[in-house]
């Protein structure tokens, strides 16, 4: 999380990518060395489920993510393989699948379909052998999907002689997730992956995509992530259902807040005036969203003022709201979030990502790191009979090629 040690961080990553290139050579044969790319994951500190409601979010890219090793071919075939999955895709660029297959490679394939469509290059584009891999827990709320999508866009734009412009990579990644895979996600994840800076969090206003980098005091603060081990696939409905509920809540609230262009524009007081219109379920969803906007702005002020205790309180209040109002938590995540607050030097903890499983993010004093993992493992094991992995992350500089 600190620009100090950045060289060491880069060296570690370089070594991992060298190993990944070795695996590429075992898979695809020796020959011209593969090009090596890295694309980070992300964690969101504040602004839970606000991006698709047009609100502010505060994510940061992580120093773990997707590895891409790519070697151009002389024909127009693409071969997609992964060190983390068994299935592979072998196809021609001039004869790409017309629909997703329900497999991991749908994400990079959607990006390739999009890039080709944009470029009108279907006939002339060269193919590639590609091996994906990485060190990010998959499907754990750390945006492994945006990481692989942005990484694929970056690598294939480079392959085809296009500048790996962040906005173009973000556009292709969003298209793949929304139009190809079918998750109605907001804009936060690819923005966080593509635009983050070391030692900073990203402040993104999702209504108009304005963003800023806010410094995170890396000498004082640290981010830990605890994986509950519970997984639920977003494309399978729960996430899209929350998106649909918010859309409906906004339609019903609109007459009371005519100025509002998105649900996040509606003041939280309008929800209290609309209990009948909304009914109990949509009241809960709209309460979470409108209060989360207030909390997220308060968290920004606290971060800028160096008030880490207040920032932590906002983070923990977000967890309670996700649990009680948005109903996307599970007992394992509640256990971790609660146990974290019992460790001295922890400022706040909340589930991160969409929920329904995945990880808890813990904001703590750097010097409080010692003993945190043991404390959380003990509490969790007592209730669930296993120990959750605990990671300490640094922030990251975004997608890049290692040469």
Q: Which of 34, 40, 43, 51 binds ligand GLA (CB under 6 A)?
A: 51
Residue span binding ligand GLA (CB under 6 A) among the ranges 45-53, 80-88, 152-160, 258-266: 45-53
Q: Is 189 designated active site? A: yes
Applying the rule CB under 6 A, the residues between 154 and 213 that interact with ligand GLA are: 185-186, 188-189
Catalytic annotation, pick one of 51, 189, 227, 265? 189
> C-beta of 187: minimal distance to ligand GLA in Å?
7
Rounded CA gap, 264 and 53, in Å? 6
> C-beta of 151: minimal distance to ligand GLA in Å?
16
Rounded CA gap, 284 and 305, in Å? 31
Rounded CA gap, 142 and 147, in Å? 9
Between 136 and 373, name the residue whose CB sits nearer to ligand GLA: 136
Using CB under 6 A as the binding rule, whether residue 354 contacts ligand GLA is answered as yes
Between 127 and 358, name the residue whose CB sits nearer to ligand GLA: 358
Torsion of CA 328, 50, 395, 105, to 10 degrees: 70
Rounded CA gap, 311 and 117, in Å? 44
Torsion of CA 317, 323, 324, 326, to 10 degrees: 100
Between 139 and 267, name the residue whose CB sits nearer to ligand GLA: 139
Number of residues that bind ligand GLA (CB under 6 A): 11
Between 72 and 237, name the residue whose CB sits nearer to ligand GLA: 237
Applying the rule CB under 6 A, the residues between 259 and 298 that interact with ligand GLA are: none
> Residue 287: enclosing H or E segment and its boundaries?
helix 275-305
> Which candidate, 164, 140, 159, 163, places its Cα nearest to that of 39?
164
Beta strand 77-82 pairing with 128-134: parallel
Q: Which of 44, 147, 316, 329 binds ligand GLA (CB under 6 A)?
A: 44
Between 185 and 333, name the residue whose CB sits nearer to ligand GLA: 185
Rounded CA gap, 47 and 318, in Å? 8
> C-beta of 303: minimal distance to ligand GLA in Å?
18
Contact between 348 and 314 under an 8 Å Cβ cutoff? The reply is yes
Q: Which residues bind ligand GLA (CB under 6 A)?
A: 44, 48-49, 51-52, 185-186, 188-189, 353-354
Give the residue numbers annotated as catalytic, written as ranges: 189
């Amino acid at each position: 999380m600190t620009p100090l040690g950045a060289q060491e961080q880069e060296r570690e990553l370089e070594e991992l990518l060298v190993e990944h290139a070795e695996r590429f050579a075992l898979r695809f044969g020796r020959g011209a060395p593969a090009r090596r790319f890295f694309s980070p994951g992300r964690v969101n500190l504040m602004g839970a489920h606000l991006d698709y409601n047009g609100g502010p979010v505060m994510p940061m890219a992580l120093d773990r993510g997707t590895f891409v090793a790519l070697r151009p071919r002389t024909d127009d075939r693409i071969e997609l393989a992964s060190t983390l999955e068994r299935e592979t895709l072998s196809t021609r660029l001039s004869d790409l699948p017309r629909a997703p297959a329900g497999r991991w490679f749908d994400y990079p394939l959607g990006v390739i379909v999009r890039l080709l469509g944009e470029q009108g290059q279907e006939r002339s584009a060269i193919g590639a052998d590609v091996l994906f891999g990485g060190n990010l827990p998959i499907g754990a709320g750390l945006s492994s999907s945006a990481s692989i999508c942005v990484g694929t866009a970056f690598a294939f734009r480079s392959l085809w002689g296009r500048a790996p412009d962040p906005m173009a990579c973000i556009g292709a990644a969003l298209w793949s997730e929304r139009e190809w895979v079918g998750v109605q996600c907001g804009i936060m994840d690819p923005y966080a992956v593509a635009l983050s800076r070391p030692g900073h969090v990203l402040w993104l206003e999702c209504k108009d995509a304005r963003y800023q980098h806010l410094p995170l005091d890396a000498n004082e603060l640290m981010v830990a992530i605890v994986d509950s081990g519970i997984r639920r696939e977003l494309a399978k409905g729960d996430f899209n259902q929350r998106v649909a509920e918010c859309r409906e809540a906004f339609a019903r609230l609109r007459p009371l807040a005519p100025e509002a262009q998105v649900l996040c524009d509606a003041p939280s007081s309008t929800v209290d005036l609309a209990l009948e219109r909304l009914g109990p379920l949509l009241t809960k969803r709209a309460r979470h969203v409108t209060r989360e906007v207030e909390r997220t702005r308060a968290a920004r002020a606290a971060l800028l003022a160096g008030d880490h205790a207040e920032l932590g309180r906002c983070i923990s209040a977000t967890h309670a709201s996700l649990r009680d109002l948005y109903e996307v938590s599970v007992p394992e995540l509640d256990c971790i979030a609660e146990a974290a607050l019992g460790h001295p030097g922890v400022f706040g903890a909340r589930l991160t990502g969409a929920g329904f499983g995945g990880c808890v993010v813990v904001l703590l004093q750097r010097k409080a790191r010692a003993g945190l993992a043991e404390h959380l493992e003990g509490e969790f094991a007592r209730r669930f009979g296993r120990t959750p992995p605990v990671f300490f992350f640094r922030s990251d500089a975004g997608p890049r090629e290692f040469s």
